[in-house]
Structure 1
Amino acid sequence: MNKDYSARREFLKKLGLSSGALIAGKYAEAFARSNSDSYIIRLGKQQRISSGDNLQIALIGAGGMGSSDTDTALQVPGVKLVAVCDLYTGRLEAAKKKWGNDIFTTKHYKDILDRKDIDAVIIATPDHWHKQISIDALGAGKHVYCEKPMVHSVDEGPAVIAAQKSSGKIFQVGSQGVSSLGNEKAKQLLKEGAIGELNYAEGFWARRDPVSVWQYPIPDDASEQTVSWETYISNTVKRPFDKNRFFRWRNYTDYGTGMAGDLFVHLFSSLHFITSSLGPERIYSTGGLRFWNDGREVPDVLLGSFDYPKTPVHPAFNLSLRCNFVDGTSGTTYLKMVGSEGSMDITWDDVVLKRNSAHEEDPFLKTKGKQGDARKKILPPNSITYKAEEGYKGGPYDHMFNFFSAIRNNGEVVEDAVFGYRAAAPALLCNDSYHQKTAISWNPEAMKKV
């Protein structure tokens, strides 16, 4: 029996309540605060970064995600963009139009790392460049915000971890929801025993429109004259110029990591943050290419099953992840956690806590009146929604804010290289399981395949 579970039982014992009556005791106050069965998650955390000179940043990889990350970074007070690197001329031109003609632009990322006036870099390249640019940036004395997944293959992780440790610099992996109010509230509720003992979790991503399933638009001027193709493929298989492989890179295994690396990794990151888990010990996946027959090498339907072992901080539980790019409803549940006494539906902005029906022995529900035992009881709600306070800037802002705050205050981030690798590894092994058609064993503590 883990420590948190024992503490929760002792808490209930002191109150004189059964486990099934928890909702009427510990959560009665929260439920009573709102007639609409909702509860506001207070901000509190989004304060100004300590005063000082601007932190000067550079973007390496100015596609959709990189541009979005940069826009978010520039919302944080005291952050200034001074340089952008990309292998496509059109993105460099667009960067100057968007962020100012005075920014430095280049197609060579080492030009960025050579500049002494740059404090930190955002790495938002295709996945196959994450490892090398991260290591080089840390070696050059830059703080690094690297998009998820941290690496392109499982064997690349230890080198990035070693580079972070030896550099002494801040390294944050960009699974943006990890730092969100929703995740923080879910972590608190789980620790306090709101759903009892965790036994199952699931996550589901659904998409259908072409852009969201990686049929990204290709510029009319895409050619070997506007794209540094040889640089792009210099660390992987040599091929003739292919505009699809450059602009729709997520569809190809040389550069991307498929559904698992793009989407499952978010769910692993949130789950591990909420539970303090190190990861699963057994991984199995299946799926197929069901609809998008556009030359892609990765499935458009993927199912993953994962066994999490018992540890000092959580019981053994199972995880099921699904991703469907042919979904007719476009419904998405980011993360659901199910316990012995309830469940939580978790997004970056809210948490819906659902409880089992309270037990008859609950002293708070025993009522007698003139009509005797047949009289109906006043019951507390068995579902409550925790919503972010109005004005909340969202998980991506929180994540970026935490990164810059750690730089200024010599602090720590929640998703460093070790955390990032433990989230990336089961996602990448999910791909390996799919291609090899077999289950894979993983040691989450030692971070090694078994």
Structure 2
Amino acid sequence: MDRRTMIKGAGATLAVAMSARSYARIKGANDRLRVAVVGVNGRGQAHMSAFLQLANVDITHFCDVDSAVLAKRAGEFAAKGHATPKTVSDYRRLLDSKAVDIVTVATPDHWHAKLAVDAMNSGHHVYCEKPIGIAPAEGEAMIAVQKRTGRELQVGNQQRSSLETRQLLALIQAGELGDVYEAQTWYANNRGSIGTGQVATPPATLNWDLWQGPRPRAAYRSNLVPYNWHWFWQYGTGEICNNAMHELDVARWLMGLTYPTRVEAQGAKRFHAGDDWEMYDSLTLALHYGKDRTIRWNGQSCNSMLTYGRGRGVLLLGTKGSAVVDRNGFELYDLAGKSIRQVMAAASSETTNTVGEGALDVSHAGNLVDVIRGRTNALNSPIAEGHISTTLCHLGNMAYRTDSVLTVDPTTGKPTNAEAMKLWSVAYEPGWEVKA
């Protein structure tokens, strides 16, 4: 790396550190915002950490359907010297309150759209984890409600707030890589077996009916909560929505793409034979954009072999060079495969653990807060963009579940396959529908 490149990299990484630390100094004194975190057992902890680092932002409410988890997280929060948050078990009581400005959604996937829609309808701004819903129709409803209410809705694919990734975008747009014709993305982990669960009485602290929320009622199983719901079609969306969403979003953003014309997926359950995991644990996906450009994903839930030394990331192939990018920076290569530039973030973000906490969470939450306060005009990840990227993941699941190659309308994202279109929406428990 030459001196000039090092200076550029240092400037970019210093900017990240400054952006995170400076929130505590530059925010105004009269625009305090109050935040409620819904779902506090996993990713919600990253939400707490991020919003706490923003000046004139208070976390005032915790909401969770498990009273034991709720009490534990509230106690931990207070023990760190923060004001004890109000605890609410039923989100509807939370939304009745005018003492909350922002609702963050860190619940299981089947709750994301319902909570976001209800929060916007009740006048609250929303930070919603990905995927934005359990089916594409939910994204369509969220877009409609956001437009109607005018509330801000930030989708939690936090790499959109990476200064390094934005720097790479500028280089690509300036022609540094030439014509970027393919992106290869990946995710690798070594998840263990979820075992064989039994129909059982829910724990006394868990409101099982409320946990199910919008989904048709089913019996509680002993190995479902708090995390393994990801691998059941009733509540989860698979590794592709759980993790590929991030890298597919980055790839199509950097390539300037929206919906593909053809989708292929090949996968299987190859590990932990006999356990209750309903889905694939290994999946390859190809999104074809006409005959010229392709985005690929290789998802390995139970084989954590690294690619380019990373558990997750994006490789961009161009006619003048290539780039590898992840949450913590990027590296450029010439056509001979020689590294010619590297830019790394000063503050790191987690990549493959289940909480995923890091510096990008602060930047992404800060972007939402700045838009609410009118200090910047554009969300880094608005619902319209989040919907497209989530739909790419749903299309992968549709191709896998129907065992077919999908032809897709590139203007709407809808497949022409009638069986696949049956998965465009889902059934709801009566009275719990997600409506525009």
User: What letter corresponds to residue 402 of structure 1 in structure 2?
Assistant: N
Distance across 2 between alignment mates of 1:209 and 1:156: 29
Q: Is the 8 A contact 2:260 2:413 kept in 1?
A: no
Matched with 2:399 is 433
Match of 2:53, SS state, is coil
Shift of 1:356: 2.0
Q: Is the 8 A contact 2:230 2:238 kept in 1?
A: yes
Match of 2:220, SS state, is coil
Change in Cα spacing, 1:53 to 1:35, as seen in structure 2 (3 Å) is closer
1:194 aligns with 2:176: yes
Q: Is the 8 A contact 1:285 1:433 kept in 2?
A: yes
Shift of 1:38: 6.6
1:238 aligns with 2:209: no
Q: Is the 8 A contact 1:180 1:394 kept in 2?
A: no
User: What letter corresponds to residue 170 of structure 2 in structure 1?
Assistant: Q
Matched with 1:95 is 73
Q: How does 1:26-41 map to 2 (within 5 A)?
A: 31-34=2-5, 41=12
Segment of structure 1 superposing worse, 96-105 or 189-198? 96-105
Matched with 1:80 is 58
Q: How does 1:178-257 map to 2 (within 5 A)?
A: 178-210=160-192, 223-247=202-226, 248-257=228-237
1:74-128 Cα shifts (integer Å, max 9, x gaps):
1122211111111111211112112237311121101111110100000111111
Distance across 1 between alignment mates of 2:321 and 2:64: 48
1:164 aligns with 2:146: yes
Matched with 2:278 is 297
- Aligned identity (percent) is 24
Distance across 1 between alignment mates of 2:289 and 2:362: 30
1:335 alignment partner, one of 314, 332, 336: 314
Segment of structure 1 superposing worse, 98-107 or 167-176? 98-107
User: What letter corresponds to residue 285 of structure 2 in structure 1?
Assistant: G
Whichever of the two has the greater Rg, that structure is: 1
Change in Cα spacing, 1:256 to 1:432, as seen in structure 2 (3 Å) is same
Shift of 1:326: 2.5
Q: How does 1:386-405 map to 2 (within 5 A)?
A: 386-389=343-346, 394-405=359-370
Change in Cα spacing, 1:334 to 1:91, as seen in structure 2 (3 Å) is same
1:64 alignment partner, one of 34, 42, 45: 42
Q: Is the 8 A contact 2:111 2:213 kept in 1?
A: no
User: What letter corresponds to residue 343 of structure 2 in structure 1?
Assistant: Y
Distance across 1 between alignment mates of 2:205 and 2:6: 59
Shift of 1:274: 2.0
Matched with 1:383 is 340
Matched with 2:300 is 324
Distance across 1 between alignment mates of 2:348 and 2:319: 35
Change in Cα spacing, 1:416 to 1:34, as seen in structure 2 (3 Å) is closer
Match of 1:196, SS state, is coil
Change in Cα spacing, 1:61 to 1:351, as seen in structure 2 (3 Å) is same
1:236-288 Cα shifts (integer Å, max 9, x gaps):
23222223223221111111110110111101221233233223222111111
State TM-score, norm by structure 2: 0.82
Distance across 2 between alignment mates of 1:104 and 1:442: 47
Q: Is the 8 A contact 2:39 2:63 kept in 1?
A: yes
Q: Is the 8 A contact 1:147 1:173 kept in 2?
A: yes
Distance across 2 between alignment mates of 1:391 and 1:292: 32
Match of 1:386, SS state, is strand
Q: Is the 8 A contact 2:132 2:155 kept in 1?
A: yes
1:112 aligns with 2:91: no
Segment of structure 1 superposing worse, 293-302 or 199-208? 293-302
Tell me the matched-pair count. 388
Q: Is the 8 A contact 2:13 2:346 kept in 1?
A: yes
Shift of 1:390: 6.3
Segment of structure 1 superposing worse, 250-259 or 230-239? 230-239
1:396-436 Cα shifts (integer Å, max 9, x gaps):
22111111111111632021111010000010110111111
Shift of 1:357: 5.0
Shift of 1:182: 2.7
Segment of structure 1 superposing worse, 127-136 or 349-358? 349-358
Q: Is the 8 A contact 1:303 1:322 kept in 2?
A: yes
Distance across 1 between alignment mates of 2:225 and 2:89: 14
User: What letter corresponds to residue 94 of structure 1 in structure 2?
Assistant: K
Please provide the CA RMSD for this pair.
2.7
Q: Is the 8 A contact 1:183 1:273 kept in 2?
A: no
Structure 2: 5+ residue stretches without partners? 350-357, 417-436
1:50 aligns with 2:27: yes
State TM-score, norm by structure 1: 0.80
1:286 aligns with 2:266: yes
Distance across 1 between alignment mates of 2:60 and 2:410: 39
Matched with 1:137 is 119
